[in-house]
Amino acid sequence: MAGVEGSLSWGTAESAAAATATGPQAPLRRCSTKRKAGKEAASGRIPRPRASGMKETTSAVASACADTEKANRLPAKDIRWILAQKPEAPPPRYQALNHSNPELVPRPGEEEEDKKLMALYGVTRALYEVQERLPKLQEWVPTAQ
């Protein structure tokens, strides 16, 4: 069937021409390799200055930096929530575990005994780590916007 007229074989110019001529589809168009002019402006990127005379001014760069600075700010509601957080006392069970083992690392005999105890160590470590990070987070959050 490959030698019959009108049959299609893969990858030949004749098969592509036969498919477009006989099929209901329109002829294929070539893709443009040229960059569209409005694409750079729509992407939000600042184009680099070219040696052909296009120079950027400092005001354009400053306005672009101000826009990105505004975009990186936290909403005021989130800032108030972060700053209002106060460290709470952990539940008594976690305090007792921390008091008996301040490193919060299971002892060699405890590892094989109880999986619930292992999970308790993990949760207690996570709780104390979050409490240690809270003041650092509050220092990092800007107070005035």
Domain boundaries, the chain: 75-145
Given this model, what pLDDT does residue 10 score? 59
Note the pLDDT of residue 53.
47
Higher-scoring residue by pLDDT: 47, 101: 101
Helix (H, G, I), strand (E, B) or coil at 122: helix
pTM value?
Answer: 0.46
pLDDT band at residue 142, thresholds of 50, 70 and 90?
Answer: confident
Q: Where does the pLDDT of residue 2 fall: very low under 50, low under 70, confident under 90, or very high at 90 and above?
A: low
**Above 60 in pLDDT, residue 116?**
yes
Contacts of 143 (CB under 8 A, 6+ apart): 79, 83
